[in-house]
Amino acid sequence: MKIDTNEKKIEELLTRSVEEILPSKKELREVLMSGKRLRIYIGTDATGTSLHLGHATNYIILEKFRKLGHEVIFLIGDFTSRIGDPTDKSDTARKQLTREDVMQNTKTWINQVKPVIDVDNTENPIRILFNHDWLAQLTFEDIINLASNFTVQQMIERDMFQKRMESGKPLYLHELFYPLMQGYDSVAMDVDIEMCGMDQKFNALAGRTLLKKLKNKEKFVFITTLLENPTTGEKMMSKSLGTGVFLDFNEVKMYGAIMAQADENMRQLFVDCTSCSFDEIQTILSAENPRDAKMQLAFKITQTYHGDKKAECAQKQFIETFQKGIAPDDVVEIKPVYIESLLTAEIIMSKTELRRLLEAGGVKDAETGEKLFEIPDHVDTPRVLKIGKRRFVKLVP
């Protein structure tokens, strides 16, 4: 297959939404310009049913590689999900999942990424693989041999491990195997490039070590930017904080979730999650009212995942709900138990988010404006609540 070596396309690929490239951007540029066909992958653990905009940043870049003619792999970590990645876990190990759990979680993933990856392309099709296919086949002897390529000191260099040990919190033995297993993915697929976020750098480098030792092959590690608030450092796509924008959101919820993002997040969301040029982004962000810029951001992202018509409807409903204070006609109705119902209906993403909103006076009676500091356990007549700035729910008897 002919490889596109267009210098402008390659430069954007190596610049936009890129945090770091190892061993160097210069070396990868030379290989891309040479016309050699490369094999690139991004792996995602099946820890939940929903992918978010942070994942989509990687898939957008993966699609750029595919369009240049390179072989791209969408790896579903159905085996590594069951180990539990210790990344960002400063307290205890992540809950271990069953095989059934992870397969259920990935049922709608391909549909979720279709707006940004041409999964139906036949000329240069994307490969969808599952690491259970090779990791489940490893014998204990195989794992011992793989482990012999690393020292304990190397494994516990990870920041979160150091923090746990310093604070006397547990570090589980099986967590040390996670980088080993993710590293072996690179060997099993014989890849040239692994894409990941900065939080996966340690694991990706473990794969680089194994590929070099077992196949005498170099691997590029292509590290993309994480969606983080530039002021607070908090992740933008946090389910527990209620700030995530998930790819399976309907158009109204997606538009509203983007509008709920902090103003300082807009530039990175434009860069990482839209196809706007840098000049266009600068023009939009120069708007006198930040809300106008954010509405363009919300429209463009919603348009990507739901199309023009639904994005227009979502924007219209947002204006009526937020600017005019009108509860939508299709407001969700729930019955007791209210907190669990709010979670099930995805009005809130976690009990932590609800508690934070209640304490801050962010839950009000939509008609009277009265602040509620707890959710009533029953109502005699229907009552509409406004949760945060733009979410409504009707409590019914």
**How does pLDDT run across 347-384, given as a tens digit for each residue?**
777 777 778 888 888 888 776 778 888 877 777 777 77
Summary mean pLDDT of the chain: 86
What pLDDT was estimated at residue 268? 95
Q: Tell me the average pLDDT across 244-268.
A: 90
pTM exceeds cut of 0.85 = no
What pLDDT was estimated at residue 375? 78
Say which CATH topology domain 332-395 has.
3.10.290
pLDDT band (50, 70, 90) for residue 43: very high
pLDDT beyond 90 at 304? yes
Can you tell me the distance from the alpha carbon of 370 to that of 372, in angstroms, rounded to the nearest whole number? Answer: 6
What pLDDT was estimated at residue 90? 46
Say which CATH topology domain 7-224 has.
Rossmann fold (3.40.50)
What pLDDT was estimated at residue 131? 94
Can you tell me the distance from the alpha carbon of 202 to that of 221, in angstroms, rounded to the nearest whole number? Answer: 10
Peptide bond just before 337 cis, omega within 30 deg: yes
Which of the pair, 215 or 165, is modelled with greater confidence? 215
Which of the pair, 164 or 40, is modelled with greater confidence? 40
What is the signed CA dihedral for 142, 146, 152, 156, rounded to 10 degrees?
A: -110
Can you tell me the distance from the alpha carbon of 274 to that of 197, in angstroms, rounded to the nearest whole number? Answer: 18
Q: Where are the domains positioned within the chain?
A: 7-224, 251-323, 332-395
Q: Which top CATH class is 251-323? A: mainly alpha
Least reliable range by pLDDT among 14-23, 150-159, 283-292: 150-159
